[in-house]
A and B are shown apart, each in its own frame.
Chain A
Amino acid sequence: MINITNLSFNYKNNLPIFKNVSFSMKNGIYGLLGENGVGKTTLLHIISGLRFPKNGNCRVFNYESAQRTPAMLSQLYFLPDEFHTPSMSIGSYAKYNAVFYPHFSKEQFNSYLNEFQVDGDKNMMEMSFGQRKKAMIAFALALNTPIVLLDEPTNGLDIPSKAQFRSILSSLFTEDKCVIISTHQVRDLENLIDPIIILDQNQVLINNTVEEITQKLYFSRTPSKPQDALYTEQILQGYSSVQINEIQQESTLNIEVLFNAAISNKAKMRELFNA
């Protein structure tokens, strides 16, 4: 679905955000993780055609994303973290915008608005940030585009709304869809995202499924600190650790610990996952 080949990108200050990066994304709910300023939002901008690669290319369904052709854009929807909406209700907004997307479902849209408890007739400028976010999430998911890009979708959402978002996303996801969620709040989406992409210093550190990660890394919680752990952090019950999975033990992925381990052991991670 998305193919990135030898991508290089930098802003005006010439500090490289991406340097000769190549990878692809197929179906799945991708978690896009990385430290502040590493390029998560920039990557989403490049995929959606809002930013152009300095070198290399990004192709979405074989269309060059930088050309922003209607054929490509109608198969993709990008919801940024912060946005400006026109002064109209979400119902009107959907009425005028959904016509550009062939698979929009009004029934799904109304259902998601009900679930989020958002009034479809209220002017979005009179809503709080969280309500507006929920309204736009409902619209984005009801478009049923094959590719959905969400930048910090749970930012601004209250606790019940985060659960509703997880529920809606897992119910609508099908094998022919690619959802990319850029987030810092991994705990909100821990059981949802698979595969996981971790960006670091103009490169991709990890781009693997949960299964591939847990085959190579072992996640444990122990009362004492393991000696050969790649990364350890103290928790209430003892220690949460990441070790190399030499004997192919099964474990449950802890995304936060994985992220910290990856940032602390970049060379080892590159070696393990050949990213």
Chain B
Amino acid sequence: MNNTFDLKRFMYLEIYDFVKSKNQLLLIVASIVILYVLAVLFDSFENFNFFPNFIGLVPLSALAAIIISPCILVPKLDKYTGTFQYTLPVSNFERLLSFVLKYIVIIPLLCLSTVFVLKSISPLFVSEDRAILYNKVLDLEMNLNFLVFGFQAVFLLGYFYFRKLAIIKVPVTLFLFFILLQTVSMITVKYLMNTDISYSIFNLLQPSEFYIQWMDGSNSIISICNAILRLIIPFGIWVAIYFKLKETEI
């Protein structure tokens, strides 16, 4: 028996995980569809035109589902829920691979395909000019990048560390972390480059073209931080998740 990876064992794990998760996956699809239906209704009836850009919530909800799914699709990790999960005869590597498949492949694909189908059928329900807008707004694949998966990985790591109320604790921790990073950046730039910082740390979430406009010398720091955020951190967090899986006690 291979204690690290066995394909048959992994397939059995995936089948079992899918059976357990199918209701939650349906819930994600239903949430996206409901928002789309509401947007179409608001556009269809002139008297209900309170939210002209309600359709923008559809890709946002899909992105939100991808990012926070690690905290909402799994039961709280405690002795009642974790015993059978962690005594199931599968390896930690297989558990990690199962998470990767679910959160990086299956759920994003599910959200992408749902939004794509809704985009395709939009001309049937809305006027031509609205359909053009829908076509532009419901372009989810443009927004799926390493940053989304980086935040998703943070939420999954937060689920293992915080256990209870991870859905609240992770965003709060992220916010406090960014504030700390902002403070350190301001102090560093002030004393090393003798200039005031001209950006907010939240600008790190912008694409790199955004920083070209800044010529104050702190541009290089932003570029480096941006690259780190987008590429290294998601991979690094998944490595951390693997080690956390090994260390998890119930």
Contacts and interface: CB of A to CB of B under 8 A. Distances in A.
A70 B80 CA distance: 21
A50 interface: yes
Interface string B26-58: 000000000000000000000000000000000
Nearest to A45: B250
B88 interface: yes
Contacts of A70: 1, 3, 6, 9, 89-91
B89 A50 contact: no
Contacts of B88: 73, 97, 100
Interface residues of B, number: 27
Chain B contact surface mostly: helix
Interface stretch (B11-19, B138-146, B159-167, B171-179): B11-19
A86 interface: yes
Given A50-B82, A77-B87, A80-B79, A99 B12 contact: yes
Contact of B89 (A84, A86, A92, A100): A100
Interface string A42-53: 000100111110
Contacts of B247: 52
Interface residues of A, number: 29
Given A49-B87, A77-B87, A84-B80, 6 more contacts: A49-B86, A68-B86, A70-B6, A83-B80, A85-B84, A100-B89
25 contacts: A45-B249, A48-B87, A49-B87, A50-B249, A52-B249, A70-B9, A71-B3, A71-B89, A73-B89, A74-B89, A76-B87, A78-B87, A80-B79, A80-B80, A80-B83, A82-B80, A83-B83, A83-B84, A87-B23, A88-B19, A92-B19, A96-B16, A100-B88, A100-B89, A101-B89
Interface of A: 45, 48-52, 68-71, 73-74, 76-78, 80, 82-88, 92, 96-97, 99-101
Interface of B: 1, 3, 6, 9, 12, 15-16, 19-20, 23, 75, 79-84, 86-92, 247, 249-250
